[in-house]
Amino acid sequence: MLTISRLSKRYANGVKALDSVSLSIGNGLFGLLGPNGAGKSTLMRTLATLQEPDEGEILFDGCNILAEPQRLRRQLGYLPQDFGVYPGVPAVQLLDHLAVLKGLTHRGERAEQVDALLQLTNLYEVRKKDVSTFSGGMKQRFGIAQALLGSPRLLIVDEPTAGLDPEERNRFHNLLSEVGESVVVILSTHIVEDVRDLCSKMAILAGGQVLLEGEPERLVEQLEGRVWRKTIPKTSVADHRAAHTVISTHLYGGKTRIHVLADACPDTGFERVTPDLEDVYFSALPGQPQQERAA
């Protein structure tokens, strides 16, 4: 169990990246969803003990990780948003090197674990290839392999699917959900589908604050019957925003579709739709209704 209490962080330039964040995270996959600049990476780096908060407390299975970072590091796997690889080094060799850095000193055990992780991430066939030549998806799978070295109990993955094509994202999702059966996984993302497909618990972070927290299905249920859709000319978007609680706009077949939150039919031409997690996400965000849904 990971318990985060009143975590705050202000950078030297005055930006308050975390503003009294409190969360309780149990086993399974936890999705931390938020737009760019929400504070997700700051929170991930803080949990990974790479930077310190100004205030707050983090307990992992009762251990205060800010006071004893080394205890957490022994149980931690971390896939940062950007990670570099040494050029000219085959995957198997790089993974072995990272395993040594992670404290796997027994050569035989290390080789066994490196092979098993290359198999798990479907990279065994390309293990002799230079990691710097890998595609984005292969690199991310390699990133998960290195994060799983040493059998961590807490796995932190920061925006792992950004830039992946649908097939690779799907493959990555399958891999994460397999891994999530045995460890606590925190997945930070700005992609709603990542959370919808994978996570049994989630929180929405924006402006350094937790706006909403719960089970995705329950959160969607709370919007049941209250989301309305209309296709409108682009020129009347502003009028609709002035008149209704527009939670999102998106283009569909070249036309503008809006989603509106209302307890009863807002106006002529609206049809009730089954809410989805994007509706939850956009209705929770401050600054709406400027949000644009992905098509």
Q: Does 11 bind ligand ATP (CB under 6 A)?
A: yes
Q: Which stretch binds ligand ATP (CB under 6 A): 7-15, 265-273, 274-282, 283-291?
A: 7-15
Q: Which of 7, 30, 41, 127 binds ligand ATP (CB under 6 A)?
A: 41
- Report which of 52, 71, 73, 49 is spatially closest to residue 62, judged by C-alpha positions: 71
Smallest gap from Cβ 273 to ligand ATP, in A, equals: 28
Q: Does 36 bind ligand ATP (CB under 6 A)?
A: yes
Our CB check for ligand ATP shows the closer of 38 and 114 to be 38
| Tokens 């790479």 -> residue | 50
Q: Does 38 bind ligand ATP (CB under 6 A)?
A: yes
For 181-201, letters b (16+ CB in 10 Å) and e give eebbbbbbbbbbbbbbbbbeb
Q: How many CB atoms lie within 10 A of CB 12?
A: 5
- Report which of 149, 3, 179 is spatially closest to residue 76, judged by C-alpha positions: 149
Smallest gap from Cβ 70 to ligand ATP, in A, equals: 23
Q: How far is C-alpha 14 from the chain's CA centre?
A: 25
List, in sequence order, every beta strand (DSSP E) within 221-273: 227-232, 246-252, 255-261, 271-272
Our CB check for ligand ATP shows the closer of 22 and 27 to be 22
Separation between Cα atoms, residue 144 and residue 205, nearest integer Å: 24
| Number of chain residues interacting with ligand ATP (CB under 6 A) | 14
Q: Which of 2, 4, 7, 17 binds ligand ATP (CB under 6 A)?
A: 17
Our CB check for ligand ATP shows the closer of 42 and 146 to be 42
Q: Does 42 bind ligand ATP (CB under 6 A)?
A: yes
Our CB check for ligand ATP shows the closer of 78 and 228 to be 78
Smallest gap from Cβ 210 to ligand ATP, in A, equals: 13
Alpha helices per DSSP H over the chain? 40-47, 69-73, 91-101, 107-120, 136-147, 166-179, 192-198, 216-221, 237-243, 277-284
Separation between Cα atoms, residue 32 and residue 13, nearest integer Å: 25
| Burial category of 106 from C-beta neighbours within 10 Å (exposed 0-12, middle 13-18, buried 19 and up) | exposed
Our CB check for ligand ATP shows the closer of 55 and 68 to be 55
- Report which of 210, 194, 187, 191 is spatially closest to residue 286, judged by C-alpha positions: 210
Q: Does 291 bind ligand ATP (CB under 6 A)?
A: no
Separation between Cα atoms, residue 232 and residue 267, nearest integer Å: 12
Our CB check for ligand ATP shows the closer of 15 and 243 to be 15
**Taking CB under 6 A as the criterion, which residues in 151-170 touch ligand ATP?**
159
The answer to whether 56 and 6 have CB atoms below 8 angstroms apart is: yes
Q: Which of 33, 40, 60, 275 binds ligand ATP (CB under 6 A)?
A: 40
Our CB check for ligand ATP shows the closer of 40 and 102 to be 40
Q: Which stretch binds ligand ATP (CB under 6 A): 12-20, 22-30, 103-111, 276-284?
A: 12-20
Q: Does 268 bind ligand ATP (CB under 6 A)?
A: no
Our CB check for ligand ATP shows the closer of 113 and 161 to be 161
The answer to whether 137 and 165 have CB atoms below 8 angstroms apart is: yes
- Which residues lie near ligand ATP (CB under 6 A)? 11, 13, 15, 17, 34, 36-42, 159, 190
